[in-house]
Amino acid sequence: MTRKRTPILPRKTILISTANAAIAAYFSRVRKDCRYVNMTVEYIPSDSVESFIKATGKARIAGKFASAWAVFGLSDFNLEPADLEGLKDLAESRKVKLGWTTPNISMWLYLHLTKQAPNFYVENASQFDQQIAKYFPGYKPTAEFMTGEGSEIHLKLFKFFAMAVNNASAYNKIAEKKNGVPATTFVEMYDDIKEICGDADLSHNNKVLAQ
């Protein structure tokens, strides 16, 4: 009797697309060190957020990704929070999810480092930069930092992820009250990454995690 083989379903994949070189460098390290083998990080320089969303949609189709995120800081395209609502229809039409942080990635990183989120809306990213630099000297939200002296920043922040999620929830309420939209959708993006890629496997980075 011929034994029937159990079909192996193809693994779902996720695309993290960004027009910001620092964000691309950061999430490339996340992908590598968390062993998210079915996650792809793609750097797509773009002149406008609309062209960036469209390019992400094309990359989603070309790569046959189950989920695709267009990830950006509002400062990447000189956007105001009020501009975000108008992008949702375009993103939906391209089956792309929007992962934003206000004004840039520094805000998301800072939420890992404070026991309590700011109780007011922060307009200037330099305020976040200055606070992060107290923990990571020389910090700048640049690809040079993320691939150089800051290449392990994601690992050193990993144990504070739950705190960042709680802080994001609190800070989003402040942002929504002021601007009508949350300050970041990174928590939803990370939920999607976990749904598709599973839990992070950091067993080979124990020395860094212990610092």
- Per-residue confidence in pLDDT tens, the chain, 211 aa: 455 554 444 589 999 999 999 999 999 999 999 999 999 999 999 999 999 999 999 999 999 999 999 999 999 999 999 999 999 999 999 999 999 999 999 999 999 999 999 999 999 999 999 999 999 999 999 999 999 999 999 999 999 999 999 999 999 999 999 999 999 999 999 999 999 999 998 777 655 555 5
In a domain, residue 60? The reply is yes
In a domain, residue 4? The reply is no
In a domain, residue 7? The reply is no
CB atoms within 10 A of CB 35: 16
| Pairing verdict, β 67-73 and 97-101 | parallel
Q: What is the pTM of this model?
A: 0.91
- What is the total count of domains within the chain? 1
Residue closest to 122 by CA, chosen among 159, 88, 172, 72: 172
Specify whether the CB–CB gap between 198 and 12 falls below 8 A: no
Instruction: Quote the crossing angle between the two packed helices 161-179 and 186-197, to the nearest 10°.
Output: 140
In a domain, residue 132? The reply is yes
Token digits of residue 12? 């779902």
For residue 148, the enclosing domain spans 14-209
68 forms bridges with which residues in the sheet? 15
In a domain, residue 146? The reply is yes
